[in-house]
Amino acid sequence: MKSFTCIIVGGGIAGLQAAIMLGRYGHQVAVFDKGEGRSTLCKCYHNVLGYPDGIEGEHLRRLGKEHAEKYGVHFIKAEVTHAQKTKRGFDLQTITNDRFKCQYLLVATGIKDRLPLSIPNLKECLGISIYICPDCDGYEVKNKKTIVIGSGESGANMALTLTYFTKEVTFVNHEKAEIVEAKQQELKDKGIEIINESVEKVNLNATSAFSGVTLSSGRVLHGERGFIAFGGSIIQTDLLKQLGVERLENHHIAADPRSKETNIRNVWVAGDIVAHSEQLTIAMGEGAQAAIWMHKRILGQ
């Protein structure tokens, strides 16, 4: 069984930042990544210092991997499916039944959103002209005609949230899920039309940006920006559960605020799985924070 001092499960934003730091400390590190994640989907991150025009997720990931590899960090493309605590550390098993062990473990597996990626043209616009997070991208829809593609209450709440940025919001209740009457009234009061119909495709303008949607009836809605809100995101913390890490009711992890260590000694967490506001910069910060405290533990401090 191949052994490393530190294993990081999740090579997204948090995992890569931790890998760079642990690599620079000179530790023997492996990063396992299954090649998915929010950072593979976002075509343009906003709210990031140094990138006023945004930065692509895949580009950042590539830079991060190359950066960490300079310090000898190993990258293994595999999904880790099992984790077990042993006397000397942790045993991990991948989906292909390969086994690895380590003394110190960082889990940065992120969140899987419920996104309607089968709608033609939708994926290509993520982060550029279709968004999921009002804190990240509310600014991008300022005073713009915006169509929320969503489901029931989640979609309705997103439509209401966006009225802070724009007065022109339409909500397409793609799954025709129930919305309580009081909420429907709230939307009506804000001038938001609710359309209970599925989206057939996203329409693009000459620059390949969102220009509206075609509904299943053939009706075309024009819009300048899109937003998605389906609820039901998966907080990917099953591995941590296997190790006995305490999870909150919503499956996020409440780690030590200073060190990001969990209730299980030598298991750290970083990024979106930690209970916070799910931002790239926070994920990066937590990756660094966890790495610093892993290093201190390795030194016996």
Write the CB contacts of 81 (distance below 8 Å, at least 6 apart in sequence).
93, 94, 95, 239
Q: Which of residues 60-99 bind ligand FAD (CB under 6 A)?
A: 79-80
Q: Is 279 in the site for ligand FAD (CB under 6 A)?
A: yes
Alpha carbon distance 218, 87 (integer Å): 62
For residue 8, what are its two tokens? 């990081």
Q: Is 209 in the site for ligand FAD (CB under 6 A)?
A: no
Write the CB contacts of 208 (distance below 8 Å, at least 6 apart in sequence).
124
Altogether, the residues listed in the chain come to a count of: 301
Interface residue with ligand FAD among 20, 133, 162, 290 (CB under 6 A) is: 133
Interface residue with ligand FAD among 105, 271, 289, 290 (CB under 6 A) is: 271
Q: Is 160 in the site for ligand FAD (CB under 6 A)?
A: no
Strands 234-235 and 90-94: unpaired
Of 165, 129, 137, 151, the C-alpha closest to 48 is 137
* Residues linked to residue 204 through DSSP beta bridges, in sequence order: 210
For residue 98, CA distances in Å to 58, 93, 101, 139 come to 27, 6, 10, 45
- Smallest gap, in angstroms, from Cβ of residue 148 to ligand FAD? 14
**Pick 138 or 187: Cβ nearer ligand FAD:** 138
Q: Which of residues 215-234 bind ligand FAD (CB under 6 A)?
A: none
- Smallest gap, in angstroms, from Cβ of residue 267 to ligand FAD? 14
Of 151, 148, 215, the C-alpha closest to 177 is 151
Mask for 17-56, x = binds ligand FAD (CB under 6 A): ---------------xxxxxxxx-xx--xxx---------
CA atoms within 13 A on the CB side of 45: 22
DSSP-derived secondary structure for 248-259: -TTS-B---TTT
**Pick 26 or 35: Cβ nearer ligand FAD:** 35
Interface residue with ligand FAD among 127, 152, 155, 226 (CB under 6 A) is: 127
Residue number, nearest CB to ligand FAD: 12
**Pick 213 or 280: Cβ nearer ligand FAD:** 280
Three-state secondary-structure class, residue 101: strand
- What is the size of the binding site for ligand FAD (CB under 6 A)? 41
Q: Give the footprint of ligand FAD on this chain (CB under 6 A).
A: 9-15, 32-39, 41-42, 45-47, 79-80, 108-110, 113, 126-127, 132-133, 136-137, 236, 239, 271-272, 278-281, 283
